[in-house]
């Protein structure tokens, strides 16, 4: 039976890998697949999943290291809200092995590694001599976040998951004992943390892979509802019934039903505090009297008795209220019955038109202090980019994970942040900014307008995306002469230098339009890589800078532009 499960799992892996058109090796794809399954509820994009995968040489036995602050993936430009009381800080450590069993040795490696990276007294620069750059970087970001949030008394959760194609019913007692040793090891560094360790085998992976996101949900409501037809409803639902609507069978929040255009906004700390205080209040005022309520979009609705069934559910306004209700009831399970006496106001708009949907999202969030760029995915120009990319073989992920969720190739999905980085590096010649601000690059209105200008043709955006994807795929190869640290930190610089070698340092927007796929070949990308890394070391050595610091330096970009030798004799355009 166990052998059959492995055969079925291998079949699923082969099909998914083929559909994704990825250039990853089988082992690397297994790491991607397993991370995606375990973290399914966090709605991570392919770029975000790859960010957390740290496996390779000198990985200390760790294949995945993901850190979340209040359920948002921690990146180098994540803004930590020190004013928020008891933020949730979560760390997931994955071991993903294609072997057919679980071994003591694998856990021993992780025990040794956590003794290093979780001991805050140990210098990360010293540890970087023993572990790869990606693991050091992710561990360092966790350390920094933990220390920065310390005054806010964060809730710390650390979860270790050992994944293989083995049978979890046949794990040797010694392996289980090693798991317990790992928990004890981590506990000595974080005594107040919630620490869990688990094993996933072929059967568990199959079960996870079969979990589908349900966008058809039922919501119980109170008494009568208001409606002016079959396309709009206003109703009251008890806080308990709304909690059941937004959670799955294990009481986990269905994060995928929150529209990605506004999902990442954490809101004003005072506003969130006020919502929570209203929930905790013993006053005899109903909750909906003191709250603006929720707006839900759906493609279809039907009512039977006091239950409304909704298709393609997306919550587009009321994220902060929803999160507060979830935290309040999840943290106080005994008060569920009490919350039947308080209610939330809910507006339901039934619409199946993408443009109208975007207008509603923008209008319902207009009076909320959300940064303008956070809602730009609803702009007509963003829809134009999506349409242009679609007709030229790329999928522009204007609505986060839309194309991932419908099974489109990972290699051909371009996220808004990725396109912004590509444009910033190639068109605006600011690879330092692209490297330093992966998630906040266009949060400021001025930056958004610099990157996304209607005076720039859609062809240029397409070319920037394609060129950067080509460079990315090229750099994933195992060039033993260059480290992962060098390639990861300097990839946007390599993208810019590739164009400089093709067109000269004074290239224009119209020049980029003329570049063909055949122009960006392996020869020129290799030359760009060699020259970029050589210049990086010449620039950083006198100052004793790390490659990471160099990559984020504007002076280094100026140094590149001043020191790239002419290439006319090698490359003619």
Q: Return the axis-axis angle of helices 380-391 and 354-364, rounded to nearest 10°.
A: 150
- Tens of pLDDT, residue by residue over 62-104, are 999 999 998 889 998 887 765 567 788 999 999 999 999 999 9
* Rounded Cα gap, residues 565 and 531, in angstroms: 9
Predicted pLDDT at 288: 86
For residues 556 and 435, the answer to whether their CB atoms sit within 8 Å is no
Q: Does residue 111 contact residue 296 with C-beta atoms inside 8 Å? A: no
Please state, in angstroms and rounded to a whole number, the distance separating the CA atoms of residues 572 and 507. Answer: 14
Task: Give CA–CA dist 565/387, Å, rounded.
Answer: 39
Say what the pLDDT of residue 271 is. Answer: 62
What pLDDT, on the 0 to 100 scale, is given for residue 572?
45
Q: What are phi and psi of 176, to 5 degrees?
A: -60, -40
Which residues does 361 contact at the CB level (< 8 Å), separation at least 6? 259, 261, 262, 297, 316, 317, 375, 378
The pLDDT assigned to 213 comes to 79
Distance from CA of residue 228 to its chain's centroid?
Answer: 39
Beta partners for 226?
234
Q: Residue 120 in 3-state DSSP?
A: coil
* Cβ–Cβ under 8 Å, residues 374 and 442: no
pLDDT of residue 280: 76
Alpha-carbon distance of 264 to 416, in angstroms, equals 13
Q: How do 294-298 and 343-350 pair as beta strands?
A: parallel
Q: Give the pLDDT score at 571.
A: 46
**pLDDT value for 230:** 78
pLDDT of residue 51: 93
Residue 270's pLDDT is: 59
Question: Which residue ranges in the chain fall short of pLDDT 50?
Answer: 265, 267-268, 372-373, 569-573
Burial track 498-519 (b if 16+ CB lie within 10 A, e otherwise): bbbbbbeeebeeeebeebeeee
Dihedral, 456, 462, 463, 467 alpha carbons, nearest 10:
130
Return the C-alpha torsion angle 318, 320, 322, 326, nearest 10. Answer: 180
Q: What are phi and psi of 533, to 5 degrees?
A: -70, -35
């Amino acid at each position: 039976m166990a052998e059959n499960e492995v055969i079925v799992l291998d079949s699923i892996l082969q099909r998914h890998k083929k559909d994704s058109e990825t250039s990853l090796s089988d082992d690397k794809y297994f790491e991607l697949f397993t991370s995606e399954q375990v973290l399914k509820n966090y709605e991570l994009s392919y770029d975000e999943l790859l960010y957390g995968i740290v496996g390779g040489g000198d990985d200390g036995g760790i294949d995945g290291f993901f850190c979340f602050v209040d359920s948002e993936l921690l990146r180098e430009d994540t803004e930590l809200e020190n004013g928020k009381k008891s933020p949730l800080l979560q760390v997931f450590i994955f071991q993903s092995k294609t072997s057919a069993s679980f071994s003591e040795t694998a856990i021993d490696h992780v025990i040794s590694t956590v003794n290093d990276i979780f001991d805050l007294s140990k210098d990360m620069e010293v540890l970087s001599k023993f572990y790869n750059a990606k693991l050091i970087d992710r561990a360092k970001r966790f350390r920094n976040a933990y220390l920065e949030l310390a005054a806010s008394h964060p809730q710390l959760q650390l979860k270790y998951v050992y994944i293989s194609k083995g049978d979890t019913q046949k794990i040797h007692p010694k392996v289980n004992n090693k798991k317990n040793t790992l928990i004890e090891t981590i506990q000595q560094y974080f005594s107040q943390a919630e620490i869990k360790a688990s094993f996933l085998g072929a059967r568990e992976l199959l079960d996870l892979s079969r979990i589908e996101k349900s966008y058809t949900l039922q919501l119980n409501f109170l008494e009568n509802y208001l409606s002016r037809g079959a396309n709009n409803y206003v109703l009251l639902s008890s806080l308990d019934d709304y909690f059941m609507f937004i959670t799955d069978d294990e009481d986990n929040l269905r994060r995928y039903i929150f529209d990605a255009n506004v999902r990442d906004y954490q809101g004003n700390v005072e506003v969130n505090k006020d919502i929570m205080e209203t929930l905790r209040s013993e006053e005899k005022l109903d909750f909906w009297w003191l709250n603006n309520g929720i707006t839900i979009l759906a493609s279809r609705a039907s009512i039977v008795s006091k239950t409304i069934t909704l298709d393609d559910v997306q919550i587009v306004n009321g994220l902060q209220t929803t999160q507060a209700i979830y935290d309040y009831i999840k943290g106080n399970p005994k008060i569920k019955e009490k919350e039947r006496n308080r209610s939330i106001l809910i507006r339901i708009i039934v619409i199946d038109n993408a443009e109208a949907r975007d207008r509603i999202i923008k209008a319902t969030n207009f009076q909320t202090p959300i940064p303008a760029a956070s809602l730009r995915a609803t702009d007509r120009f963003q829809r134009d980019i999506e349409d242009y990319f679609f007709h030229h073989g790329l999928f522009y992920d204007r609505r986060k994970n839309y194309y991932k969720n419908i099974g489109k190739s990972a290699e051909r999905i371009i996220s808004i942040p990725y396109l912004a980085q590509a444009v910033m590096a190639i068109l605006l010649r600011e690879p330092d900014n692209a490297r330093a601000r992966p998630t906040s690059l266009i949060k400021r209105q001025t930056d958004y307008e610099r990157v996304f200008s209607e005076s720039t043709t859609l062809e240029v955006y397409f070319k920037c995306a394609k060129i950067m994807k080509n460079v990315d795929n090229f750099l994933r190869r195992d060039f033993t002469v260059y480290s992962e640290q060098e390639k990861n930190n300097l990839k946007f610089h390599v993208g810019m230098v590739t164009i400089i070698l093709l067109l000269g340092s004074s290239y224009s927007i119209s020049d980029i339009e003329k570049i063909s796929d055949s122009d960006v070949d392996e020869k020129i990308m290799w030359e760009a890589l060699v020259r970029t890394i050589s210049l990086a070391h010449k620039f950083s050595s006198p100052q004793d800078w790390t490659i990471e610091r160099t990559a984020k330096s504007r002076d280094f970009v100026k140094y590149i532009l001043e020191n790239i030798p002419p290439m006319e004799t090698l490359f003619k355009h």
